[in-house]
Amino acid sequence: MPARKKKTKSSSSEETVSLEAAMDELTGIVGELESGQQPLNKALEKFERGMRLLKDCDRQLEEAGGRIEIVRRMTDTGADVEPFDGTPTVDQKPEESSETDSGKLF
């Protein structure tokens, strides 16, 4: 599975990366900036890239937190929470009734 996927939000060639890949890249950027070996223009470019990555990481973590909160609330209320296996439910056929098809609603 590729770590990057194209963004359609902006007209630039900016990409969205996985949280793990973004964190790795941020670690590298911080190291480069802390070394002080980059020319000012390159350092500013790295800083800007780091800020975009940080914003994207924050968004991904907020989304994950929201998903966790939904599952937590569901389990607190006793609702059944089944692990997501990646199977689309739209394609599943409804279970057949054990009664004959007599047109009864109840």
CA–CA separation, 2 vs 56, rounded Å?
Answer: 17
Flag whether 48 is in a domain: yes
Flag whether 97 is in a domain: no
φ, ψ of residue 54 to 5 degrees: the values are -60, -45
What's 36's domain CATH number?
1.10.287
How many domains is the chain partitioned into structurally?
Answer: 1
Predicted model pTM? 0.56
Flag whether 91 is in a domain: no
**Short-list 37, 53, 38, CA closest to 4:** 53
- Please state, rounded to an integer, the average pLDDT across all residues of the chain: 76
Q: Could you read off the pLDDT of 21-65 as tens digits, one per residue?
A: 999 999 999 999 999 999 999 999 999 999 999 999 999 999 888
Flag whether 45 is in a domain: yes
Flag whether 103 is in a domain: no
Flag whether 14 is in a domain: yes
Where in the sequence is the domain holding 46, given as residue range(s)? 4-76
78: left (phi over 0), alpha (psi -120 to 50) or beta: left
Flag whether 102 is in a domain: no
φ, ψ of residue 20 to 5 degrees: the values are -65, -45
Model confidence at 106, in pLDDT bands (50, 70, 90)?
Answer: very low
